[in-house]
């Protein structure tokens, strides 16, 4: 018999997101589950850490389950969980996020992914789950909820059976807005949104700006296409070490130029 797997459950939406309850339902029989989340929603915080001020940790009881609340980011959650709540977990699961986390652009700014990527720097495998829906109500629609719970569980069970894929640090799972049993491995699109800024004026007439994104045209053979056009479940493997793979020759001329000038 093996020791119970220590699973850290987190998200970037805080304790009251229905996505958290869904993911807890999916993992509850797979091991010993610790739930540690940001106390307030922290979407789009990326891998940000709170270093300039201290964080608080509080405990909440919801549906007979203890939830630890951290006054910080999803990345803070990883370190607080490891050092204060549970010790190093065997697996981190994050989500289920309301809204997809598709494309390089979104992956690197997402708090849902931030928790998982921060964990992977610590050598802890992680899986982020996101659903391409617009509201908690859509996520909670009974048939859809059942689909997300069952599929998340199957993905994690499969992972525990086959082991984390070699050379992969984290997995990013996105569910389409429709119920399906089709699943693909997809590389991410580079961008999901074009950057837009809208100017408004406050009651004193002073300008302020909203940042928002407008979907860009979808590239074929990407995570965005798989989920939004094909209605499939997309799994994207993330390998942090590869960030810095490059053809040595491509940088050679540049390096030589610098050296000449520095020594000249």
260 labeled binding residue: no
- Kind of pairing, strands 57-62 and 65-70? antiparallel
By CB under 8 A, residue 166 contacts its own copies: yes
By CB under 8 A, the residues from 133 to 162 that bind its own copies are 151, 154-155, 157-159, 161-162
13 labeled binding residue: yes
By CB under 8 A, residue 104 contacts its own copies: yes
Please say which residue, 64 or 211, places its beta carbon nearer to its own copies.
211
Residue 69 forms beta bridges with which residues?
Answer: 37, 58
43 labeled binding residue: yes
By CB under 8 A, residue 236 contacts its own copies: yes
In whole angstroms, what is the distance from residue 32 CA to residue 118 CA?
21
By CB under 8 A, the residues from 42 to 71 that bind its own copies are 43-52, 54-57
Tokens 């805080």, located at residue? 14
**Which of 126, 128, 133 is closest to 100 using CA atoms?**
133
Residue from 16, 25, 65, 79 that binds its own copies (CB under 8 A)? Answer: 79
**Which of 20, 149, 22 is closest to 74 using CA atoms?**
20
By CB under 8 A, residue 195 contacts its own copies: yes
Please say which residue, 35 or 45, places its beta carbon nearer to its own copies.
45
By CB under 8 A, the residues from 1 to 40 that bind its own copies are none
Residues contacting 264, CB < 8 A, separation 6+: none
By CB under 8 A, residue 203 contacts its own copies: no
Structure tokens at 193: 């949104």
Tokens 């850290």, located at residue? 8
- Cβ atoms of 170 and 128 closer than 8 Å: yes
Q: Which part of the chain contacts its own copies (CB under 8 A), choosing from 2-10, 13-21, 136-144, 243-251?
A: 243-251
Q: Shortest distance, CB of residue 105 to its own copies, whole angstroms?
A: 5
Q: Which part of the chain contacts its own copies (CB under 8 A), choosing from 59-67, 128-136, 137-145, 180-188?
A: 180-188
Residue from 14, 105, 140, 231 that binds its own copies (CB under 8 A)? Answer: 105
**Edge-first strand listing for the sheet containing 183-185:** 57-62, 65-70, 32-38, 6-10, 91-98, 126-131, 170-175, 233-238, 183-185
Binding site for a divalent metal cation, residues? 12-13, 43, 97
Binding site, residues? 12-13, 43, 97
């Amino acid at each position: 018999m093996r020791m119970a797997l220590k699973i850290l459950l987190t998200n970037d939406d805080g304790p009251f997101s229905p996505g958290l309850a869904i993911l807890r339902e999916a993992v509850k029989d797979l091991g010993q589950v610790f739930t540690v989340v940001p106390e307030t929603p922290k979407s789009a915080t990326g891998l940000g850490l709170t270093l300039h001020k201290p964080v608080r940790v509080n405990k909440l009881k919801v549906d007979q389950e203890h939830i630890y609340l951290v006054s910080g980011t999803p990345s803070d959650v990883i370190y607080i969980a490891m050092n204060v709540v549970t010790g190093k977990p065997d697996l981190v699961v994050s989500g289920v996020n309301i809204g997809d986390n598709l494309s390089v652009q979104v992956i690197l700014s997402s708090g849902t992914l931030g928790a998982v990527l921060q964990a992977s720097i610590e050598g802890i495998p992680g899986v982020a789950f996101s659903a391409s829906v617009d509201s908690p109500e859509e996520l909670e629609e009974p048939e859809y909820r059942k689909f997300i719970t069952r599929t998340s569980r199957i993905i994690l069970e499969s992972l525990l059976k086959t082991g984390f894929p070699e050379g992969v640090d984290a997995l990013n799972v996105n569910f389409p807005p429709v119920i399906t049993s089709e699943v693909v491995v997809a590389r991410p699109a580079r961008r999901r949104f074009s950057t837009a800024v809208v100017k408004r004026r406050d009651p004193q007439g002073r300008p302020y700006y909203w940042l928002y994104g407008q979907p860009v045209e979808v590239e074929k053979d990407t995570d965005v296409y798989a989920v939004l056009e094909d209605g499939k479940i997309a799994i994207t493997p993330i390998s942090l070490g590869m960030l810095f793979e490059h053809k040595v020759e491509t940088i050679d001329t540049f390096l030589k130029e610098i050296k000449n000038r520095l020594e000249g």
